[in-house]
A and B are shown apart, each in its own frame.
Chain A
Amino acid sequence: MKIDPMRRLVLSLLVLSCAFVAGCAKNESGSPSSSSGSSAARTKLQGSGASFPAPLYLRWFKDYEKESSTVYVDYQAKGSGAGIQDLINETVDFAASDAAMTAEEIAKVKNGVVMLPMTAGKVVLAYNLPNGPAEVKLSREAYCKILMGEITKWNDPVIAACNSGATLPDVAITVVVRSDSSGTTHVFSTHLSAVNPQWKEKYGINKTINWPNVSHLVKAPKNDGVMALVKQTPGAIGYVEYGFALQTKQPVATLENQSGSYVKPTTQSGQASLASVTDVPEDLVVWIADPVGADCYPIVSYTWLLCYQKYSDPAKLKAVHNLVDYCVGEGQSISESIGYIPLPPSMIEKVRAATAKIQ
């Protein structure tokens, strides 16, 4: 009998798909990233959350994967809000957030939560100002007013006042903020609320803010998206974690701190801010809204890894322990090169102690 065309199609599709699946499987075993000859099944940890520490986490997890060879970590930088939501829905093994969970949120997690600071970062105001001066200084009044939409030009007298000697171009400001629920926004609004009573009253502290309804404010998802938009838009200014600005070589503003001095975001100024908080509570949730000290960078925050207290799968439990060990140990040495602040030794000890709660 002649094979009719329909049947031929079905047959060829079948053959194709078989070949395809076989090809994938082969590809998998042949790829250099998987360890050679490992007979034990690898454990996968699924994580999601903050984009603030994402460049560092992705690097850590890749390095850790190479070292451990039995564990691999899939981290989706969806934003802190989404991470916490996933943790509550139990669709992940761990989450990450720069806004520690609220008591209300913790109550929703059946297996309990352990919050572990992994690193700390500086929120910076990255900008894109063609023909601008080498350094832009922003006073507390200036950056609050920019974010509240009250300053619309780079050569506004308020900005000019703190940049005496420099000539600021007559360029319109575009403010870039986060469109998603974000821990970075939480950190930033915490600081603004501490600094500016008007902000506190109107916008407050949250992962999402009802931003001023002005036409020069654009929203983008995640730290990465804000950074990309700033990079792409002349006259733009936006808040991101320092690492994003460092690695994409965008200039960042020098900010006025509580004691009135202008400070650049460096590891030293960040560490000074971390050191300004001395008593750490047991749940390791520390807010540094507005650090005191002449050499403190004003907007600094820890960022947390959110783990369950109980893991039913022993392989996953072990993997989480090992992962945390790696991150607060060896991992700390590369934080600085990516733009983050290494944890103070005292904090590392506390994190190690807290890890015991994960069972």
Chain B
Amino acid sequence: MKNTIGTSLKFERTIDSAFRRVCWTLALLTILLGGLIVFEIFYHATPAIKKYGFSFLTSSQWDPANEAYGVLPEIWGTFYSSVLALIVAGLLGVSVAIWLTQNFLPSRVEWFLKTVVELLAAIPSVVYGLWGFYYVIPMLRPFAGWLHEQFSWVPFFSTPFTGPGILPAALVLGIMILPTVASISRDALSAVPSRLKEAAMGLGATRWEVIWKVVLPTASRGIGAALVLGFGRAIGETMALAMLAGNSSRLTLSLLSPSNTLAARLANQFPEAGPSEASALMFAALVLMALSLSANVFGVVINLRARYKLARVGVAR
């Protein structure tokens, strides 16, 4: 500070209050941005909402020529592929999380495994699509063909394998959401108080008895949150699905059949849409937003409550 303390002080105060105001305004703007995103999409979807209403969700036509739009198959495809992906990611992700937290590995190997999973999250979706199209699909082909031949009476394998379809899409999607599931489950597992584990071990329980009966039940809410958040991520994934799902809107249980998702529909149709189709696509975007936001909010809430509960476990005993 210089010698003219009075003016300098005044100057600093002005700066300070301006600075505070800027920060406050920007914080407010962040909330407004959230609102604006919802509003913009809702606003542009209004014509379609008025015209099609609820039937948009239950009809399965997408016919720009006759202006008939419905996204039932896309909603189904989104759900189905996400649930299957979640099975893959849940199995792999929770196993990885257990191996990372329950003293299985020397610290270097642990670091390697952790880095591998984190790098999975960094790979762009479009590169997953490229890899899936040129490697996963050809790799699955003989296996899927055999499944269809042997088990065509099972509804999951009732159709011949077309290449792009639910199975490759869900597998790749599962790998893509694996890091989300793994890292949140890891946090949940490592938050289990070690006293609980030590007590069980002291009673003579084997490592897996401890994991099954103590660690997993205590961390179950956190793992649940990991699965819900992973599901939310899967719902919104776009590029890999646009490249691997086959873009064919079908209501089917068969894993080998092509399918479509809301996000993939948006990615494929938006650039060429006329006014009526654009509005219908905005409606589809709104549906997608509702699905993914509710999964996300639900997941965030479970996660917070899980932490709160664990904190109480720590205090009470």
Q: Do chains A and B touch in the complex (CB under 8 A)?
A: yes
A: residues with CB less than 8 A from B are 78-79, 81-82, 85, 152, 172, 174, 179-181, 206-208, 210-211, 213, 215-221, 229, 232-234, 236
Partner of A208, one of B63, B133, B246: B63
Contacts of B250 in A (CB 8 A): 213, 215
Contacts of A152 in B (CB 8 A): 160
| Residues A215 and B258 in contact, CB atoms below 8 Å apart | yes
Measured CB to CB, the nearest residue on chain A to B257 is A215
Partner of A229, one of B65, B163, B252: B163
| Residues A232 and B163 in contact, CB atoms below 8 Å apart | yes
Q: How far is the CB of A154 from chain B (nearest CB, A)?
A: 12
User: Given that A172-B160, A232-B133 are contacting pairs, would A218 and B258 also be in contact in the complex, using a CB cutoff of 8 Å?
Assistant: yes
B58 within 8 Å of A (CB atoms): no
Contacts of A206 in B (CB 8 A): 65
The 7 listed contacts between A and B (C-beta, < 8 Å) are A85-B274, A208-B63, A215-B160, A215-B254, A215-B258, A219-B248, A234-B141
| Residues A85 and B272 in contact, CB atoms below 8 Å apart | yes
**B window 146-164: CB within 8 A of A:** 158-160, 162-164
Q: How far is the CB of B75 from chain A (nearest CB, A)?
A: 16
Contacts of B64 in A (CB 8 A): 81, 181, 208
B268 within 8 Å of A (CB atoms): yes
Q: How far is the CB of A146 from chain B (nearest CB, A)?
A: 14
Contacts of B163 in A (CB 8 A): 174, 218, 229, 232-233, 236
Task: Report how far A122 CA is from B173 CA in the complex, Å.
Answer: 38
Contacts of A234 in B (CB 8 A): 141
Measured CB to CB, the nearest residue on chain A to B164 is A218
B59 within 8 Å of A (CB atoms): no
Measured CB to CB, the nearest residue on chain A to B165 is A218
B137 within 8 Å of A (CB atoms): yes
Give per-residue flags for B239-266: 1 if the beta carbon is below 8 A from chain A beta carbons, else 0: 0000000111010101011100000000
Contacts of B33 in A (CB 8 A): none
B269 within 8 Å of A (CB atoms): yes
User: Given that A79-B272, A85-B274 are contacting pairs, would A210 and B258 also be in contact in the complex, using a CB cutoff of 8 Å?
Assistant: no
Partner of A233, one of B162, B248, B254: B162
**B window 139-183: CB within 8 A of A:** 141, 158-160, 162-165
B202 within 8 Å of A (CB atoms): no
Chain B interface, number of residues (Cβ within 8 angstroms): 31
Contacts of B133 in A (CB 8 A): 232
B: residues with CB less than 8 A from A are 61, 63-65, 133-134, 137-138, 141, 158-160, 162-165, 246-248, 250, 252, 254, 256-258, 268-269, 271-274
Measured CB to CB, the nearest residue on chain B to A181 is B272
User: Given that A181-B64, A234-B141 are contacting pairs, would A219 and B272 also be in contact in the complex, using a CB cutoff of 8 Å?
Assistant: no
Contacts of A180 in B (CB 8 A): 268-269, 272
| Residues B268 and A221 in contact, CB atoms below 8 Å apart | yes
Q: How far is the CB of A232 from chain B (nearest CB, A)?
A: 6
Q: How far is the CB of A101 from chain B (nearest CB, A)?
A: 13
Contacts of A210 in B (CB 8 A): 61, 63
Contacts of B271 in A (CB 8 A): 78, 82
| Residues B268 and A218 in contact, CB atoms below 8 Å apart | no
Q: How far is the CB of A121 from chain B (nearest CB, A)?
A: 20
Task: Report how far A81 CA is from B268 CA in the complex, Å.
Answer: 13
In the A-B complex, list the 5 residue pairs whose CB atoms are closest, starting with the nearest: A82-B272, A215-B159, A219-B247, A172-B160, A215-B257
Measured CB to CB, the nearest residue on chain A to B274 is A85
Q: How far is the CB of A201 from chain B (nearest CB, A)?
A: 15
Contacts of A233 in B (CB 8 A): 162-163
User: Given that A174-B162, A233-B162, A236-B163 are contacting pairs, would A219 and B273 also be in contact in the complex, using a CB cutoff of 8 Å?
Assistant: no
Q: How far is the CB of A171 from chain B (nearest CB, A)?
A: 9
Contacts of B138 in A (CB 8 A): 232
User: Given that A85-B274, A180-B269, A234-B141 are contacting pairs, would A216 and B65 also be in contact in the complex, using a CB cutoff of 8 Å?
Assistant: no
Q: How far is the CB of B312 from chain A (nearest CB, A)?
A: 40
| Residues A217 and B247 in contact, CB atoms below 8 Å apart | no
Contacts of B268 in A (CB 8 A): 179-180, 221
